């Protein structure tokens, strides 16, 4: 069968690559074209547009790049029309993918959404669009099934695919000596988008100065972004690229930009401080849209339903607060022990291994009918 997969960000590329792997294992005739990244390419997808050209973050940034985004819509529609897939598989990236879902539905193309947009947090009106245009929705957070049920939709929850990605790395990784050190490692994960990196990395560098004599500071960089953006300003700080999981296997603690990386860090059992600072206008608009019902922004806390790790957001994200919170985690103590214990409960809530394979088999079954 023929599948067209659309992911617009690094996390979508990761989840999409694992899904593509299992689609190919379970459908030997699978032909897959995609919008995605290097991980999808490694799994054999014919990637027609790379995610490095797609990750626009925030209301202001979207407006600035609106002309490019509209060109992307036209290009994507043309490529899907030419390919004539048995299913269009959409991975998160709602601003783009929900519009593609509406178009594909009108063209009688089967639409499968894998990894729900966070409509439970904001823009609940999007549920109506999803209900009208999506044939099947697969969610990855345990509370999303109940949310959709309350809005008249029966969706599928097969567990969180990050468990597969993390466990596969742990089982297959044999590289253990690249970061041997007498000092414990403080990891800095400033994000995979240019806007995030520019805001978060300088603050992480400032805060890490307080730990430079006791810890080995390492930045987890991504090749999606230009190397010159990782300016350490003469500090004795190492940079590794596209080796985040290897870094997390050795890290003792971490500053992490809010996003998928917070959950990845927790699954590697690394105590973390969540960092987030957006464009002031974008943040103000987002806060109004989210409302008072959503208390947290990090996946770790959202899934747990309580504060497992400290979130430093906007004005709270400053050097003093970052240092104070990290001091509680860097050395043995009550806060570090509590967080590691909460990680065990978090892992249990995510449904165990095999999510990517279960979803792939369900998609093949859906497309066969």
DSSP secondary structure string for all residues of 54-112: T---SHHHHHHTHHHHHHHHHHHHHHHHHH--SEEEEES-HHHHHHHHHHHHHTT--EE
Two tokens, residue 214 = 């006791």
pLDDT in tens, 41-98: 999 999 999 998 775 544 445 555 667 778 889 999 999 999 999 999 999 988 899 9
Are 255 and 138 part of one and the same domain?
no
If asked whether residues 318 and 190 sit together in one domain, one would say yes
Q: Does the predicted TM-score (pTM) go above 0.75?
A: yes
Look at residue 293 in the predicted model and tell me its pLDDT. Answer: 60
Judge if 315 and 177 occupy the same domain. Answer: yes
When pLDDT is averaged across residues 197-211 and rounded to a whole number, the result is 95
| Total tally of structural domains belonging to the chain | 2
Torsion, Cα of 249, 254, 255, 256 (10° steps) = 30
Rounded Cα gap, residues 25 and 19, in angstroms: 10
Q: What is the residue range of 238's domain?
A: 167-349
For the record, the structure tokens of 130 come out as 């999803």
State whether 144 and 173 are in the same domain: no
Q: Return mean pLDDT, the chain.
A: 89
Q: Is 47 helix (H, G, I), strand (E, B) or coil?
A: strand
pLDDT of 289 reads: 45
Structure token pair of residue 98: 């929900």
- Give the whole-angstrom CA distance, residue 141 versus residue 98: 19
Kindly calculate the radius of gyration of the chain based on its CA atoms and give it in whole angstroms.
20
CATH of the domain at 155: 3.40.50.2000
Q: Both 33 and 98 in a single domain? A: yes
How far does CA 86 lie from the centroid of its chain?
Answer: 26
* Residues 345, 313 share a domain: yes
Q: Are residue 241 and residue 361 in the same domain, yes or no?
A: no
Query: How far apart are alpha carbons 325 and 276 in whole angstroms?
Result: 14
Do both 120 and 260 map to the same domain?
no
pLDDT given for residue 337 in this prediction: 96
Mean pLDDT of 181-210: 92
50-59, 218-227, 335-344: which range is least confident on average?
50-59
What confidence tens digit (pLDDT) does each residue in 105-122 have? 999 999 999 999 888 766
- As a whole number of angstroms, the distance between CA 109 and CA 85 comes to 8
Q: Quick check: 7 and 92 in contact, CB under 8 A?
A: yes
pLDDT tens digits along 17-36: 999 999 999 999 999 999 99
CA-nearest of 20, 40, 42 to 31 is: 20
What are the start-end ranges of the E strands in the chain?
2-7, 31-36, 46-50, 87-91, 111-114, 136-139, 156-157, 185-189, 216-221, 238-241, 251-257, 272-276, 311-313
Same domain, 328 and 194: yes
Residues 90, 31, single domain; the answer is: yes
* 283 token code pair: 């943040």
* CA dist., res. 92 & res. 101, Å (int): 12
**Is residue 67 located within the same domain as residue 140?**
yes
pLDDT at 59: 47
Per-residue pLDDT tens for 150-190? 999 999 999 999 998 899 899 887 555 555 668 999 999 99
pLDDT bucket at 284, cuts 50 / 70 / 90: low
When mean pLDDT is compared across 174-188, 313-327, 343-357, the lowest value belongs to 174-188
Residues 105 and 196 in one domain: no
């Amino acid at each position: 069968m023929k599948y067209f997969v659309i992911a617009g960000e690094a996390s979508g590329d990761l989840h999409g690559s694992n899904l593509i792997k299992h689609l190919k294992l379970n459908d030997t005739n699978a032909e897959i074209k995609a919008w995605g990244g290097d991980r999808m390419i490694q799994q054999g997808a014919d990637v027609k547009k790379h995610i490095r050209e797609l990750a626009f973050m925030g209301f202001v940034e979207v407006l600035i790049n609106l002309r490019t985004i509209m060109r992307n819509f036209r290009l994507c529609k043309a490529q899907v029309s030419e390919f004539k897939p048995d299913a269009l598989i959409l991975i998160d990236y709602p601003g783009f993918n929900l519009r593609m879902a509406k178009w594909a539905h009108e063209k009688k193309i089967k639409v499968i959404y894998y990894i729900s947009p966070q409509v439970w947090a904001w823009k609940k009106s999007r549920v109506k669009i999803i209900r009208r245009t999506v044939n099947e929705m697969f969610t990855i957070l345990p509370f999303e099934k109940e949310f959709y049920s309350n809005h008249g939709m029966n969706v599928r929850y097969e567990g969180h695919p990050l468990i597969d990605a993390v466990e596969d790395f742990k089982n297959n990784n044999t590289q253990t000596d690249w970061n041997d050190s007498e000092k414990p490692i403080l990891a800095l994960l400033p994000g995979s988008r240019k806007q995030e990196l520019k805001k978060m990395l300088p603050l992480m560098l400032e805060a890490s100065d307080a730990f430079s004599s006791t810890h080995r500071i390492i930045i987890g960089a991504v090749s999606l972004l230009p190397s010159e953006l990782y300016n350490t300003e003469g500090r004795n700080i190492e940079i590794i690229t596209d080796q985040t999981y290897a870094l997390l296997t050795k890290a003792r603690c971490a500053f992490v930009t809010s996003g998928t990386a917070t959950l990845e860090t927790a699954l590697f059992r690394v105590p973390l401080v969540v960092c987030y600072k957006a464009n002031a206008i974008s943040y103000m608009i987002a806060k109004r849209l989210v409302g008072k019902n959503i208390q947290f922004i990090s996946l770790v806390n959202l899934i747990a339903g309580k504060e497992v790790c400290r979130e430093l957001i906007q004005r709270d994200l400053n050097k003093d607060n970052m240092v104070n919170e990290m001091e509680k985690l860097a050395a043995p103590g009550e806060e570090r022990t509590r967080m590691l214990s909460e990680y065990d409960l978090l892992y249990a809530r995510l449904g165990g291994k095999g999510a990517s394979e279960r979803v792939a088999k369900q998609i093949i079954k859906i497309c066969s009918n």
